[in-house]
Amino acid sequence: MSQPFEKVREDLLRAGIAPRHVRRYVIELREHLADLTERERKAGLDAAAASQRARELVGTDSQLTQAMLQKAPRALAARAPWAVFGLLPLVALIAVVAAIDYSMFRLLTPVNVPAQGGVPATYLGVIAAVSFITSYLLGPAIAAGCLFISLRQRVASLWLWIGVAVVALASNLFGFHMNVQAPIAGHPGGTSFSALPVVYVDGHVSAAATLAMVALRAVILFVIAAVAYRALRARFTSSAA
């Protein structure tokens, strides 16, 4: 059995009211309902009649929702979804990647890895961890944050998917990458570091192959986000019913 005022909570969230205001309002309503119920029971009504009478005194769900809508501020995600889902995730991603790349390039500059030389073994663990984070964790984490905000605040906006698509593309385009080129005739090969991914074909950088890899990984991340959103939204809907 659902708790009292669940419909009020859902309606307010869907109207864009900030979750913290909705939570506090619903708690106050439930406490007021409990007080009224106790008062009616002391007046001589049985438990069922006292509960029904108290609910009538509080007001209908529609009245309570309208009362809150007239005074509560709307959440930023409802007022400016373009900023919350489109701009902020991209800015956060670029800022984090820039900070990581700056730190790693400063760390690796004293090493001065020669083109035909290797990376010192003491650096390999750090390089692998950082590359894994920027390539496989950072983008999904930011996309998951967007989905969480959308589900928590019941915001259904095209900007959510625009933002997820941009994050999926940018997170696979920018990062920290160690590029190992195999030796070929006329070129000794070696190791290099870059903020952009690089794919070698026949010993040469292939822009087409690089862009194809970025696009494929971006599509995979977007599809995973869409599937996760659909599953989680179904759970949110069923729990609110």
- 207-240 CB burial, b ≥16 within 10 A, e <16: eeebeeebeebbeebbeebeeebeeeeeeeeeee
Helix (H) or strand (E) run with residue 124 in it: helix 121-132
pLDDT digits (tens, 9 = 90+) for 57-105: 988 999 999 989 888 888 888 889 999 999 999 999 999 999 999 998 8
Domain spans in the chain, listed from the N-terminal domain onward: 6-69, 80-240
pLDDT digits (tens, 9 = 90+) for 6-65: 889 888 888 888 888 899 999 999 999 999 999 988 888 888 888 888 888 988 999 999
Q: Is pLDDT at 167 greater than 90 in this prediction?
A: yes
Of the ranges 84-93, 164-173, 227-236, which one carries the lowest mean pLDDT score?
A: 227-236
Contact 76, 155 (CB under 8 A): no
